């Protein structure tokens, strides 16, 4: 059967023949082919695809854009590049990819160099002709590099970069970005889309107007910090002052002395508004960039015998320049916070941080299992959105009876209700589920503060992992494979509950129980107040609160829940341990039918045993 559709684009007419599109896996899941046709018939504007984890959104996105033109496909982290590469290889689609340049660079493999320092170091070595990997690019045609890329079996982006170095001794970053004109798909991480300076480093000759954009895990965009942010701490500012003062740039030193005074005034453990006028100075930003370049050139002259050592040098000025660049944006404000050091953050207070880039593209597809409804998405993008909810349109993708939702009303992490007794009761609940669960138990908390408080009462659990800032995803995955009965304490919105799969070697989900220990609302502070106030100007107070608070909490909840069921063979028991999950606002956004509601801890355990 062959069907033809006449599709109208802004300035052209294209006839697309939707024939028997074939799945590389033999057959389509329910709703996949229909989703492909829906997207293809609406290319050219904003499209939203809400589909559950395991549906196959990546394959749908690729098939719906075949022969449409150039596609820029972005993911949040470099770990999420691999599934996209796998599907592009399975469909025989030409592609190139790019992630962190410093993590691709053979001169700094295995070393931690701040990205701000890396790029200026890289620029100087290229300008001076001192990077052999870069100069070696002239030995090979783009066609040859693309052929090698297509022939590689690996879907691991790090391994692909490494193979280009091993086989051709070339710079993998510039080798891969040079292919942009020759391929159908470019895959990249978020900064290459949302930060103009990062985009231009990789694709200086291509404008976003040349692309259709696909955004994976698009719910992240509802937090504009995903698109752009920067920070400076007291230690870095003080070191920058010492460098500038020693070089004799006294006007810049005076500015930095005042900046240090501003940072020294930070005393709150929550974001506190700082007058932007106390920090911003465009003249100083330009002067700092010039001083940084001069400093790096001096270092390079001292390292002429080993220029590659320049790649490993750092300067406090690099981070300061980036901070001022971000803070100069009209939609960004400054906020102080006391953590391990006194810090000032440059944070966006509106969705302009996202939309200023997306408006340029030919069309945008936003995909996630946690997208809010059509009305809220349209308010955010300020445009008509063609919206497809796969579950509502085509029914459940996996058997609904495979997931059991229970609301436990005896507890809440509401700020007014927090106490040692509450933390102890959460620990008791988590432990009771862990003891009867033969698989992985994932307990998810609103913040590190709550996690750490509860974890103090879980010391006697045999196998437990507590997420912190040093936690590495690879270590957690290895631990999960070695310990089938494991308790993981994680933070909502963190690295262990976003785009992560805990699967056995045969593909089955190892997570059988998820406990949401509280509703993961953003903490109340000046940043939240400013963000909510900015939204209220064009959507009203009620909707602004819903977007800034309820929607953010629900997205984090749904992302955590999505760690359990990855296929039709998986089963999961979900405990929503906070009475606020009964509120109409949260229930409307979550769209979950609760199987049970109880205030009795022993009933939670009995329901778990019965379910499994």
250-280, pLDDT tens digit by residue? 999 999 999 999 999 999 999 999 999 999 8
Check pLDDT > 90 for residue 586: yes
108-135, pLDDT tens digit by residue? 877 778 888 888 889 888 988 889 999 9
Check pLDDT > 90 for residue 440: yes
CB atoms within 10 A of CB 465: 18
Give the residue-averaged pLDDT of 273-288.
Answer: 89
Check pLDDT > 70 for residue 210: yes
More confident residue, 216 or 6: 216
Contact 311, 105 (CB under 8 A): yes
- 5 phi and psi angles, rounded to 5 deg: -130, 135
- CA gyration radius, the chain: 25
Contact 512, 579 (CB under 8 A): no
- Percent residues over pLDDT 70 in the chain: 95
> What are the residues whose beta carbons fall under 8 Å from the beta carbon of 173, sequence distance 6 or more?
98, 101, 104, 105, 161, 202
Buried b or exposed e, range 466-475, using 16+ CB within 10 angstroms: bbeeebeeee
> pLDDT band at 229, cuts 50/70/90?
very high
Tokens 């889309």 appear where?
A: 193
> What totals of helices (H) and strands (E) does the chain contain, helices first?
26, 20
* Residue 6, strand partner residues: 15
DSSP 500-515: ---B-TTS-B-EEEEE
H-type alpha helices, 328-388: 352-358, 374-381
At 303 the pLDDT is 67
Question: Reduced to 3 states, what is the DSSP secondary structure of residue 499?
Answer: coil
DSSP 145-203: HHHHHHH-----HHHHHHHHHHHH---HHHHHHGGGGG-SEEEEETHHHH-HHHHHHH-
Check pLDDT > 60 for residue 7: no
Sheet holding 185-189, edge to edge: 95-98, 185-189, 71-75, 212-215, 363-368, 46-50, 385-389
> pLDDT band at 12, cuts 50/70/90?
very low
pTM: 0.88
> pLDDT band at 36, cuts 50/70/90?
very high
H-type alpha helices, 328-456: 352-358, 374-381, 390-394, 420-436, 448-455
Contact 76, 226 (CB under 8 A): yes
**CA angle, residues 138, 140, 145, in degrees to nearest 5:** 130
Q: What is the mean pLDDT of the chain?
A: 90
> pLDDT band at 2, cuts 50/70/90?
very low
């Amino acid at each position: 059967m062959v069907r033809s559709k006449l599709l109208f684009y802004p300035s052209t007419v294209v006839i697309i023949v939707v024939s028997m599109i074939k799945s590389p896996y033999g057959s389509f899941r329910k709703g996949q082919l229909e989703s492909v046709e829906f997207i293809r018939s609406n290319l050219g504007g904003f499209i939203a695809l809400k589909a559950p984890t395991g549906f196959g959104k990546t394959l749908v996105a690729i098939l719906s854009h075949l022969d449409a033109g150039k596609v820029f496909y972005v993911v949040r982290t470099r770990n999420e590049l691999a599934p996209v590469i796998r599907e592009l290889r399975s469909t025989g689609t030409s592609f190139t990819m790019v992630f962190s340049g410093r993590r691709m660079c053979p001169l700094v493999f295995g070393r931690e160099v701040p990205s701000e320092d890396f790029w200026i170091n890289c620029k100087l070595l290229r300008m001076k002709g001192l990077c052999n990997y870069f100069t070696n690019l002239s030995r090979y045609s783009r066609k040859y590099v693309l052929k090698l890329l297509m022939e590689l079996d690996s879907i691991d982006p790090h391994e692909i970069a490494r193979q280009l170095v091993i086989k051709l001794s070339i710079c993998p970053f510039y080798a891969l970005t040079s292919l942009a004109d020759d391929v159908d798909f470019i895959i990249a991480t978020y900064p290459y889309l949302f930060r103009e300076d990062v985009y231009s480093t990789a694709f200086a000759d291509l404008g976003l107007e040349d692309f259709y954009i696909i955004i994976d895990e698009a719910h992240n965009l509802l937090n504009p910090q995903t698109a752009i942010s920067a920070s400076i701490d007291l230690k870095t500012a003080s070191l920058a002052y010492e460098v500038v003062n020693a070089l004799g740039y006294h006007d810049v030193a005076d500015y930095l002395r005042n900046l240090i005074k501003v940072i020294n005034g930070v005393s709150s453990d929550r974001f506190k508004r700082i007058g932007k006028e106390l920090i911003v100075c465009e003249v100083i930003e330009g002067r700092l960039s010039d001083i940084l370049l001069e400093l790096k050139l001096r270092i390079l002259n001292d390292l002429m015998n080993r220029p590659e050592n320049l790649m490993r040098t750092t300067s406090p000025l690099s981070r300061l320049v980036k901070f001022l660049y971000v803070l100069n944006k009209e939609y960004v404000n400054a906020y102080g916070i006391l953590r391990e050091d006194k810090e000032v953050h440059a944070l966006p207070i509106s969705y302009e941080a996202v939309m200023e880039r997306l408006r340029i593209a030919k069309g945008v597809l936003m995909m996630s299992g946690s997208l809010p409804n059509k009305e809220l998405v349209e308010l955010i993008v300020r445009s008509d959105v063609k919206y497809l909810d796969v579950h509502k349109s085509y029914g459940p993708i996996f058997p609904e009876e495979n997931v059991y939702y229970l609301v436990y009303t005896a507890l809440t992490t509401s700020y007014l209700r927090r106490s040692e007794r509450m933390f102890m009761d959460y620990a008791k609940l988590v432990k009771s589920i862990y003891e009867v669960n033969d698989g992985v138990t994932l307990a998810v908390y609103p913040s590190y503060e709550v996690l750490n408080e509860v974890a103090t009462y879980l010391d006697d659990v045999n196998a437990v992992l507590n997420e912190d800032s040093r936690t590495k995803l690879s270590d957690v995955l290895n631990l999960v494979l070695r310990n089938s009965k494991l308790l993981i304490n994680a933070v909502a919105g963190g690295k262990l509950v976003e785009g992560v799969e805990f699967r056995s070697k045969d593909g089955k989900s190892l997570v059988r129980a998820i406990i949401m220990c509280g509703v993961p609302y953003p903490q109340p502070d000046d940043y939240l107040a400013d963000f909510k106030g900015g939204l209220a100007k064009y959507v009203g107070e009620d909707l602004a609160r819903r977007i800034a608070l309820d929607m953010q909490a629900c997205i984090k909840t749904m992302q955590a829940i999505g760690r359990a069921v990855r296929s039709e063979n998986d089963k999961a028991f979900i405990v929503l341990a906070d009475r606020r999950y009964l509120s109409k606002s949260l229930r409307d956004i979550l769209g979950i039918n609760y199987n049970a509601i109880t205030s009795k801890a022993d009933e939670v355990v009995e329901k778990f045993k019965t379910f499994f």
